[in-house]
Amino acid sequence: MEESYLEIRNLCKTFSAKNGSVEALKGVSLSIGKGEIFGVIGLSGAGKSTLVRCMNLLERPDSGDVLLNGESLLALSKEQLRLRRQKIGMIFQHFNLLEQQTVLENVCFPLEIRGIPKKERREKALSLLEKVGLADKAKAYPSQLSGGQKQRVAIARVLANEPDILLCDEATSALDPETTQTILRLLKAIRDTLGITIVVITHEMRVIQEVCTRVAVLDGGLVQEEGSVAEIFDHPKSRAAKRLLLMADEEEESYVG
């Protein structure tokens, strides 16, 4: 595994609010290797969503840098950044599908934007739907799908651009535990077959435990702890990690109960 394929250097971001300003990120640094499934975990308000949006510059940080394969994204022109972003896929909690379009049309959409001929984009979209196990739903509309099926369509659509990196922002938090397992297995299979680097942003410890190799614990806009998943689970050092583990244990008991 190459070191520092995606490198976050000392990111700071402050937002203006009614009662003053909010420091969402206070100097976050991370180093993520090529082909790694890396987790960022924290409670609501920890700065996770701001961090993931800074990773592809949907949100520009006030200071710091984001390097992809050694290249600073902040140094790129608008056009260069637009092209680079095509290789940084993103999936969200609420799927963001086009409700008036069929499943096939949703997956074709990014290819259409890129000017890929109709026959070619249909063939590619159908092969991607097969990859995520939804070839039989090509003519269905999003309203006819379950939450897990919608997320699989969203993943197929992102893969249409052949991304190098996949950012997952709370991608399973709207799903039940069984469906979550299905999506996580799919993400692992995508990493194994396509070599894509995956960043999982979540507040759920069981998601991190299931799919990630390393994890950073974010709290109050700062990385409180970082290491292998086994290290953090077995020997949490920060108050934030201990709190998240306690919540995960309580959740586990409620499932069993």
pLDDT one digit per residue (tens) for the chain, 257 residues: 445 799 999 999 999 988 889 999 999 999 999 999 999 999 888 999 999 999 999 999 999 999 999 999 999 999 999 989 888 999 988 888 999 999 999 999 999 998 999 999 999 999 999 999 999 999 999 999 999 999 999 999 999 999 999 999 999 988 898 999 999 999 999 999 999 999 999 998 889 999 999 999 999 999 999 999 999 999 999 999 999 888 887 766 654 44
Q: Are residues 83 and 203 in the same domain?
A: yes
For residue range 4-47, list pLDDT tens digits in order. 799 999 999 999 988 889 999 999 999 999 999 999 999 888 99
In a domain, 117, yes or no: yes
Q: Are residues 211 and 250 in the same domain?
A: yes
In a domain, 15, yes or no: no
Tokens 């739903």 locate to 137
Query: pTM for the full model?
Result: 0.92
Q: Are residues 150 and 239 in the same domain?
A: no
Domain range for 174 is 28-87+164-257
What are the residues whose beta carbons fall under 8 Å from the beta carbon of 142, sequence distance 6 or more? 95, 97, 98, 99, 103, 106, 150, 153
Q: Are residues 48 and 142 in the same domain?
A: no
Q: Are residues 169 and 139 in the same domain?
A: no
Q: Are residues 122 and 168 in the same domain?
A: no
Residues in the chain: 257
Q: How many domains does the chain have?
A: 2
CATH of the domain at 229: 3.40.50.300
In a domain, 20, yes or no: no
